[in-house]
Structure 1
Amino acid sequence: MSNKYRQIWARIRCYKNRSSILAVPSLRRIPLRGPVVSSTIGFTLFTWLGFEKNTLSAEDELVYTIKHCVLFIQRDEHDKAEQLLHVALRQAQQIQHQLGITYIYDVMANLALEREQLDKAKQLFVTVAQRILADGATEDDPRMVHISSKLARISHLKKEYTTAQIGYDWCIAKLQQLIETTTDDVSTKKLLAMTQDWYGRLFIDCNQGEQGLSLMLSALELMKEVPDVEKEHIVIQLNDIGTVCDKLGKSDDSITYLQEAIALGKELKMDELGTMYVNLGRAYLKKNMIAEATKSCGYGWKLGTMSKNNIIKQEAESCIKEIKNHS
Structure 2
Amino acid sequence: MAMHRILGAGLALRLLRVAGRRGRGCPARLLPGPAGGRAPAADVPPCREAPRGLGPGLLPLLAALAWSSRPAPAEQEQERERQGAGGAAAGDAEAEIIQLLKRAKLCIMKDEPAEAELILHDALRLAYKSDNKKAITYTYDLMANLAFIRGQLENAEKLFKATMSYLLGGGMQQEDNAIIEISVKLATIYAAQNRQDLALAGYEFCISTLEEKIERQKELSEDTLSVEEKANTHLLLGMCLDTYARYLLFSKQPSQAQRMYEKALQIAEEILGERHPQTIVLLSDLATTLDAQGRSDEACVHAQRASDLARQVEHPELHVLLSNLAAVLMHRERYAQAEEIYQEALKRAKLKRDEVSVQRIREELAGLSRKRRPLS
In structure 2, the partner of 1:260 is: 305
Given the alignment of the two structures, is residue 206 of structure 1 paired with residue 282 of structure 2, yes or no?
no
Q: 1:262 and 1:26, CA in 2 relative to 1: closer, same or farther beyond 3 A? A: farther
In structure 1, the partner of 2:100 is: 65
2:362 maps to amino acid: Q
Alpha-carbon offset, residue 282 of structure 1: 2.7
Could you tell me which runs of 5 or more consecutive residues in structure 2 were left unpaired when the two chains were aligned. Answer: 17-53, 63-84, 218-224
TM-score (norm 2): 0.69
In structure 2, the partner of 1:5 is: none
Given the alignment of the two structures, is residue 80 of structure 1 paired with residue 115 of structure 2, yes or no?
yes
Deviation per residue, 1:124-146 (Å, 9 max, x gap): 11111111121122323332222
Q: Is the 8 A contact 2:107 2:113 kept in 1?
A: yes
Alpha-carbon offset, residue 104 of structure 1: 0.5
Deviation per residue, 1:202-241 (Å, 9 max, x gap): 2223221100121122112212222399933223322222
Distance 2:105 2:321 in 1: 29
In structure 1, the partner of 2:151 is: 116
Which runs of structure 2 are paired with 1:17-166 in the superposition (5 Å)? 17=8, 57-166=92-201
Which runs of structure 2 are paired with 1:195-234 in the superposition (5 Å)? 195-227=240-272, 231-234=276-279
Distance 1:140 1:320 in 2: 48
Q: 1:148 and 1:281, CA in 2 relative to 1: closer, same or farther beyond 3 A? A: closer
Distance 2:349 2:126 in 1: 45
In structure 2, the partner of 1:279 is: 324
Give the secondary-structure state (helix, strand or coil) at the position aligned to 1:136. Answer: coil
Give the secondary-structure state (helix, strand or coil) at the position aligned to 2:289. Answer: helix
Given the alignment of the two structures, is residue 318 of structure 1 paired with residue 366 of structure 2, yes or no?
yes
In structure 2, the partner of 1:47 is: none
Give the secondary-structure state (helix, strand or coil) at the position aligned to 1:57. Answer: helix
Q: Is the 8 A contact 2:339 2:365 kept in 1?
A: no
Alpha-carbon offset, residue 288 of structure 1: 2.7
Distance 2:130 2:275 in 1: 35
Deviation per residue, 1:5-52 (Å, 9 max, x gap): xxxx23x4689449x9877769999x9xxxxxxxxxxxxxxxxxxxxx
Q: Is the 8 A contact 1:26 1:236 kept in 2?
A: no
Q: Is the 8 A contact 1:304 1:312 kept in 2?
A: no
Distance 1:202 1:266 in 2: 28
In structure 1, the partner of 2:334 is: 289
In structure 2, the partner of 1:175 is: 210
Distance 2:239 2:363 in 1: 28
Bigger RCO of structures 1 and 2 (CA < 8 A, at least 6 apart): 2
Could you tell me which runs of 5 or more consecutive residues in structure 1 were left unpaired when the two chains were aligned. Answer: 1-8, 32-52
Q: 1:179 and 1:326, CA in 2 relative to 1: closer, same or farther beyond 3 A? A: farther
Q: Is the 8 A contact 1:275 1:315 kept in 2?
A: no
Q: Is the 8 A contact 2:6 2:141 kept in 1?
A: no
Q: 1:304 and 1:204, CA in 2 relative to 1: closer, same or farther beyond 3 A? A: closer
1:211 maps to amino acid: Q
Q: 1:203 and 1:287, CA in 2 relative to 1: closer, same or farther beyond 3 A? A: same
